[in-house]
Amino acid sequence: MHMDRTADYVVVGAGSAGCVLAKRLAESGADVVLVEAGGSDRTALVRKPGLIAIFHNVPQLKKRLDWGFYSAPQPNALDRKIPQTRGRVLGGSGSINGLLFVRGHRRNYDDWAAEGCEGWGYDDVLPSFRRMENWEDGATDLRGAGGPIQVTRQRDLTPASEAFLEAMADTAGVKRNDDYNGEEQEGASIFQQSAHDGLRYSSSVGYLDDHGLDNLTVLTKATVGRVVVRDGRATGVEIVDGKDRGTIHATQEVIVAAGAFGSPHLLMLSGVGPAAHLREHGIEVHADLPVGDNLHDHMFVPMTFVMGTARNRGTAPYFASGLLKEWTRGGTWMARSVFEAVGFVRSPQAGDIPDLQIHALPWSYPFPNQDAPTRHKVDKRPALTIMPTLIYPKSRGTVRLASADPAAAPVIDPGYLTEPDDARLLLDGIELVREIMANRLIAGDVTAELSPGPEFPDRATMARELPNRATTVYHPVGSCRMGTDERAVVDPALRVRGVEGLRVADASIMPSITGGNTAAPSMMIGEHAASLILGG
């Protein structure tokens, strides 16, 4: 059926940010259509937190919910094509992510404001963060209660994770921190997750389930191929596949929330982007802007240590019995994120805020990497995997068009490790993890370093191996940068420069990445965008 309909607002992409934004706009009484390329998220594969591990290890399942992107060959990573997993389902990447809930450091937002993004300092965004959450400890000046996203601490930690937290605090000289989303980020902490009672709280679950708003229409399996721009104004969107092909006209605005790859891709297909590049693809230029520049991402190097106290095993029978227990009595590890512990610590190069995030999960991780040319190995013994993570990368890359055909994937070149400081910091992180694991508070429980392992005993050997192991944390941001100078795609009100009636609201607008996982900041951007649009 060819669709031709009109709404006040059209939001493209029902991901972490888009679901939040569409719901908030509709609550104001406006007629809103939210358009999502993927399908329903009402499947246990998405909603049962622990099943994420199965999703990642079974390609047939992954294909159902993932866009299936890979990076361009990365010259500083042995020309590897690194998976750029992105959710293609209601809830977007927030439906397939690790559920970790991290706001980032308050300084990140203050830095955005200092660069000219007025209204985005931490005190400005704090109400948006508080509005979206229902924090298990209740409301404080800094934390929110009663919001749509349930935020809980991980619980029933394995002894391996407990020992890791103690050893990390002792080695890195940090304190145990009860709430890294509160007063202070630095320290050794139990991870917080957007999950409760065995249910993943993506923005789709939290904001769209049973929304009861007649003026909010959610279209699924509907890919937008172009934003229609006429006489310098966005007038609607064209849906190019699925049963709802046709045009949706917007009387107020089109807001693109298609993510760090989808948003720049769609803008360029619509004639908003680097003019010369668009002309190469025969696309009429409506605004010459640096769309797709400034792409950046976090990287980590997984390190796996055999530890009986990690308890969990990566075997099929272990998963099957986990599933059975979860379905019969609930409250098992399957009900929660697979990650348990985290540290925000300072490397020797750090200024006065942590520059390393240390993720830990009591499972063995694929090694040497998920994109290894030969099939990667996953050891079946109980193990603790620790990931020293570069949270302020200096390397920058691009998103570009491969073709003017909306069905063609964009060319994603994150430029991993192009800046030598990035590798240096990862090596500092690796050394710190080894020191932690040699600490008397944990060393007795560690049987072996499985990966990278004894073949890479020191900084020099690790420096050579790093390009084979460093990988994405799946946190791409920055490709439709917010700002006030010529590097900006959107202004601090998220309006696309030079096009009326068009905004971008998702992880792509971050001028620089936040110091931590990016889902909570993306949902905050959805909340904040709604306030900006509605003038609240």
Ligand X SMILES: Cc1cc2nc3c(=O)[nH]c(=O)nc-3n(C[C@H](O)[C@H](O)[C@H](O)COP(=O)(O)OP(=O)(O)OC[C@H]3O[C@@H](n4cnc5c(N)ncnc54)[C@H](O)[C@@H]3O)c2cc1C
Residue nearest to ligand X (CB): 15
Binding test (CB under 6 A) with ligand X, winner from 482, 520, 529, 530? 520
User: Which CB atom, from 304 or from 357, has the smaller least distance to ligand X?
Assistant: 357
Q: Which of 226, 233, 227, 295 is nearest to 489 (CA)?
A: 295
Length of the chain measured in residues? 536
Binding mask 156-195 for ligand X (x = CB under 6 A): ----------------------------------------
99 binds ligand X (CB under 6 A): yes
Could you tell me which stretch among 82-90, 120-128, 370-378, 385-393 binds ligand X (CB under 6 A)? 82-90
Binding test (CB under 6 A) with ligand X, winner from 71, 76, 85, 418? 85
Round to whole Å and give the CA distance between 403 and 392. Answer: 32
Report phi then psi at 9, rounded to 5.
-125, 140
45 binds ligand X (CB under 6 A): no
Binding mask 100-129 for ligand X (x = CB under 6 A): x-x---------------------------
Residue 375 has a CB neighbour count (10 Å cut-off) of 7
Strands 32-35 and 216-219: parallel
In whole angstroms, the minimum distance from the beta carbon of 161 to ligand X comes to 16
Could you tell me which stretch among 30-38, 166-174, 207-215, 493-501 binds ligand X (CB under 6 A)? 30-38
Binding test (CB under 6 A) with ligand X, winner from 262, 271, 397, 515? 262
Q: Which of 202, 191, 251 is nearest to 17 (CA)?
A: 202
Binding test (CB under 6 A) with ligand X, winner from 10, 160, 218, 266? 266
User: Which CB atom, from 101 or from 456, has the smaller least distance to ligand X?
Assistant: 101
Q: What is the dihedral of CA 75, 79, 80, 86, to 10 degrees?
A: 50
- Pull the structure tokens for residue 305: 């240590």
Task: Name the active-site residue from 105, 296, 359, 475.
Answer: 475
Q: Which amino acid is at 273?
A: G
Binding test (CB under 6 A) with ligand X, winner from 49, 98, 147, 415? 98
Round to whole Å and give the CA distance between 29 and 24. Answer: 9
Residue 213 has a CB neighbour count (10 Å cut-off) of 13
Residues 474-493 that bind ligand X (CB under 6 A): 474-475
In whole angstroms, the minimum distance from the beta carbon of 464 to ligand X comes to 28
Between helix 420-437 and helix 159-172 the angle, nearest 10°, is 110
Binding test (CB under 6 A) with ligand X, winner from 259, 388, 410, 515? 259
Q: What is the dihedral of CA 4, 404, 413, 477, to 10 degrees?
A: -20
Residue matched to tokens 């491969």 = 402
Could you tell me which stretch among 87-95, 144-152, 210-218, 397-405 binds ligand X (CB under 6 A)? 87-95
User: Which CB atom, from 82 or from 102, has the smaller least distance to ligand X?
Assistant: 102
Q: What is the dihedral of CA 348, 351, 353, 355, to 10 degrees?
A: -50
**Residue 359 falls in the annotated catalytic set:** no
Contact 29, 9 (CB under 8 A): no
- Pull the structure tokens for residue 156: 């029933």
Could you tell me which stretch among 99-107, 179-187, 306-314, 444-452 binds ligand X (CB under 6 A)? 99-107
Contact 342, 185 (CB under 8 A): no
Between helix 519-534 and helix 122-132 the angle, nearest 10°, is 100
Binding test (CB under 6 A) with ligand X, winner from 10, 190, 224, 430? 224
Binding test (CB under 6 A) with ligand X, winner from 49, 50, 92, 322? 92
CA gyration radius, the chain: 22
User: Which CB atom, from 302 or from 434, has the smaller least distance to ligand X?
Assistant: 302
Measured in Å, how far apart are the chain's first and last C-alpha atoms?
38
Could you tell me which stretch among 271-279, 371-379, 393-401, 514-522 binds ligand X (CB under 6 A)? 514-522
Residues 329-388 that bind ligand X (CB under 6 A): none
Binding test (CB under 6 A) with ligand X, winner from 7, 10, 11, 17? 17
Binding mask 424-443 for ligand X (x = CB under 6 A): --------------------
In whole angstroms, the minimum distance from the beta carbon of 225 to ligand X comes to 7
Helix/strand/coil for 34: strand
422 binds ligand X (CB under 6 A): no
Could you tell me which stretch among 13-21, 22-30, 43-51, 275-283 binds ligand X (CB under 6 A)? 13-21
- Does 452 sit behind a cis peptide bond, omega within 30 degrees of 0 on the bond before it? yes
The dihedral sign for the CA sequence 315, 361, 18, 26:
positive
Alpha carbon separation from 449 to 364, 375, 379, 501 (Å, rounded): 11, 21, 12, 55
Q: Which of 165, 175, 194, 200 is nearest to 386 (CA)?
A: 165
In whole angstroms, the minimum distance from the beta carbon of 92 to ligand X comes to 3
Could you tell me which stretch among 25-33, 88-96, 377-385, 386-394 binds ligand X (CB under 6 A)? 88-96
User: Which CB atom, from 309 or from 357, has the smaller least distance to ligand X?
Assistant: 357
Strands 3-12 and 272-273: unpaired
Residues 6+ apart with CB under 8 A from 142: 126, 130, 181, 182, 183
User: Which CB atom, from 200 or from 434, has the smaller least distance to ligand X?
Assistant: 200
In whole angstroms, the minimum distance from the beta carbon of 457 to ligand X comes to 31
Helix/strand/coil for 141: coil
Binding test (CB under 6 A) with ligand X, winner from 507, 513, 529, 533? 507
Q: Which residues are catalytic?
A: 475
Q: Which spans of this chain sit near ligand X (rule: CB under 6 A)?
A: 12-18, 35-38, 85-88, 92-94, 96-100, 102, 223-224, 257-260, 262, 266, 474-475, 506-507, 517-520, 522
